[in-house]
Amino acid sequence: MLKIIGFLLGITIINVHEDIIKSNDFNDSNPKSSHFYYLQGKNFSENGIHTKAIENLNLALELTTRLDTLAVLIKNEIGNVYFSMKNYTTSKKLYSEALELSIQIKFLRGKAITLALLGSVEEKEGNYLEALKLQKKSLEIFLKIKDNNGTAHVKLNIGSIYEDLNQFSNAHTYFQSAYQLLKGKNNYSEADILNNLGDIFRKQNQTDSALFYSHKSLDLARKINQPKLIESAYKDLAKTYSIIEDYKKAYEYRLKSNEYKEIVLNNQNARQLNILQTIYDSHRKEAEIKLLKEQNKVNLVNQKLLIVVVLCIILISAILGYIYQKRIKTQQKIQKYKQRILKAELEKKQALEKTLQNDIQLKTASLTKYSLHLSQKNKILTDISSDLKKISIRNNIDYKSKLKNISKDIDFKLKHDDQWIDFNNLFKEIHPDFSKQLTQISTEKLSSSEIKLAMLLRLNLTSKEIAEILNVTPDSVRIARYRLRKKLPISPKEDLVNFMIHL
């Protein structure tokens, strides 16, 4: 079931536009206004680019010097970024500041939003009673200002808390009440609450109702083209069909869920790549504009100097004219020299950037080559070892013991290959902090074999490819992956490879 985490600021932003419009920032034609940076930061946040999100949102906050509604929204959005990074202490601090400000400026909707966000933090920290208290305070305000969207989503939050407490009857009551407010909207929120209803019925073993709502959620998710909701609906349907022992359908829906999970991941990666490319292009254009402005300034200075020189030549005698002409030529040489310096620095920076990119590509290619070489080498050595063992079975008294020793030596080398040192060194050059971060976040001490497995997973290799490199069976790889997963703080729904890639 999809959890609504930090949703209120995003959903109710439509309702608070009237408050934003009242601020002068919104009407400012300057593209570098606080509202501009706020929207930029929000876009980065929604696409998982946290560093740029915080950078833009802090700029927006600096430009918002007045006590207005936009300041509340910005603080909440910064809190959402830290919340998504599971930094609950910082997010709670920011939400508390936003709550204090919304109370000070009497911004009721902002107060309701912030209370709900604080409730989400308490829920994540396991403080369910405090979470319920905050969510119900938020609900009172939304009901008071007659905000149906806010009311529906806070009820969804409250239902989620009751679900965590295994109080499914209370959870169902709030989910159903939220659905009545969202019914007929044909949007993301309606599909999500249908999914929640199906999930809660399944947990109460009411499989017919669970299937009914999960299918409704799936149909609506398809209609509005929301891959993440489609994935969730398929996953819940697979669980329900498994309960009623219709394993064929359960398997089919599980495959479809995995298919859409990959689509969601690919879409997210594509969006992030496009945004990063846009940032790169923007910075490059800004650098070019800055260079052109500097050149224009230099040209303007030269033009003024030329006019002065010409006037001086007219005013003074022919004798001094020669001196001034010489000075003009000197200035022109200086200008050309400055332009050559600027051009050389620009070319140097471009060459350095190209060198760094080529170096990364070369090291990545080398790493892949090492992986393939290890796999091929292990396969060859394994085949040789097998053949030597077969020869040793023959009744050849002179060579039998020697062949067995050779086979043992090859088996030993398969397990102690020095090329792992080169592979490990090259991997650390490309991903210098990976092993350190992996060790820090693990709940138990990781063995050297588990660290090797994690490195190969970081390269996005399949179980079959890893099995060939480590000279083990694919089943052994799956078991090793399971043991590694148990030692890491990873949620059951999260993919292990995806976790390694984003570490």
CATH of the domain at 222: 1.25.40.10
**CB burial string 393-405: b at 16+ within 10 A, e below:** eeeeeeeeeebee
Q: What CA–CA distance (Å, rounded) separates 15 from 379? A: 63
Q: Are residues 57 and 137 in the same domain?
A: yes
Q: Are residues 99 and 19 in the same domain?
A: yes
Give the 3-state secondary structure of residue 228: helix
Dihedral-angle region of residue 147 (phi above 0 means left; psi in -120 to 50 means alpha; beta otherwise): beta
- Six-digit token string for 47: 């696409």
- For residue 159, the one-letter residue type is G
Q: What CA–CA distance (Å, rounded) separates 100 from 486? A: 41
Q: What CA–CA distance (Å, rounded) separates 188 from 228? A: 10
Pick from 475, 496, 471, 501: nearest CA to 484? 496
Cα 283 to Cα 54, 279, 290, 388: the distances in Å are 18, 6, 10, 62
pTM: predicted TM-score of the whole model, two decimal places: 0.48
| DSSP code per residue over 395-443 | S-TTTHHHHHHHHHHHHHHHHS-THHHHHHHHHHHHSTTHHHHHHHH-S
* Boundary (domain end) residue, out of 158, 182, 206: 182
Following CA atoms 233, 235, 237, 238 in sequence, which dihedral angle do they give, to the nearest 10 degrees? 160
Q: Are residues 213 and 172 in the same domain?
A: no
* Boundary (domain end) residue, out of 241, 260, 281: 281
Whether the CB-CB separation of 118 and 133 falls below 8 Å is answered with: no
Tokens 């650390």 correspond to what residue?
428
DSSP 3: -
Q: Are residues 71 and 168 in the same domain?
A: yes
Question: Would 71 be classed as within a structural domain?
Answer: yes
Q: What CA–CA distance (Å, rounded) separates 458 from 17? A: 43
Question: Would 174 be classed as within a structural domain?
Answer: yes
Q: Are residues 197 and 141 in the same domain?
A: no
What's the helix, strand, coil split of the chain in %, to 5? 80, 0, 20
Q: Are residues 92 and 16 in the same domain?
A: yes
Question: Would 315 be classed as within a structural domain?
Answer: no
- For residue 230, the one-letter residue type is I
Question: Would 390 be classed as within a structural domain?
Answer: no
DSSP 473: -
Question: Would 364 be classed as within a structural domain?
Answer: no
Pick from 9, 31, 193, 25: nearest CA to 98? 9
Q: Are residues 91 and 217 in the same domain?
A: no
Q: What CA–CA distance (Å, rounded) separates 58 from 373? A: 48
Cα 312 to Cα 315, 316, 331, 334, 369: the distances in Å are 5, 6, 16, 20, 71
Where do runs of H (alpha helix) occur along 316-396? 318-393
Q: Are residues 271 and 208 in the same domain?
A: yes
Rg (CA), the chain: 32
Question: Would 485 be classed as within a structural domain?
Answer: yes
Q: Are residues 45 and 156 in the same domain?
A: yes
Question: Would 243 be classed as within a structural domain?
Answer: yes
Q: What CA–CA distance (Å, rounded) separates 446 from 449? A: 8
Per-residue confidence in pLDDT tens, the chain, 503 aa: 344 444 444 444 434 444 443 444 444 444 468 888 888 888 887 787 888 888 888 888 888 866 788 889 999 999 999 998 999 999 999 999 999 999 999 999 999 999 999 999 999 999 999 999 999 999 999 999 999 889 998 999 999 899 889 999 999 999 998 889 888 888 888 888 899 988 899 988 999 988 998 999 899 989 998 888 899 889 988 899 988 988 898 899 899 988 888 887 777 677 666 666 666 565 566 566 666 667 777 677 778 777 888 887 788 888 898 899 988 988 888 888 888 888 877 877 876 777 677 567 656 656 665 565 666 566 666 767 766 676 666 665 556 666 676 676 666 555 555 667 778 888 888 888 898 999 999 989 999 889 989 999 998 888 888 888 887 889 999 999 999 999 999 998 899 999 998 88
Range of the domain at 246: 186-281
* Boundary (domain end) residue, out of 264, 281, 298: 281
Q: CATH no. for residue 443?
A: 1.10.10.10
Question: Would 345 be classed as within a structural domain?
Answer: no
Number of H helices, E strands in the chain: 23, 0
Q: Are residues 175 and 196 in the same domain?
A: no
Number of domain units in the chain: 3
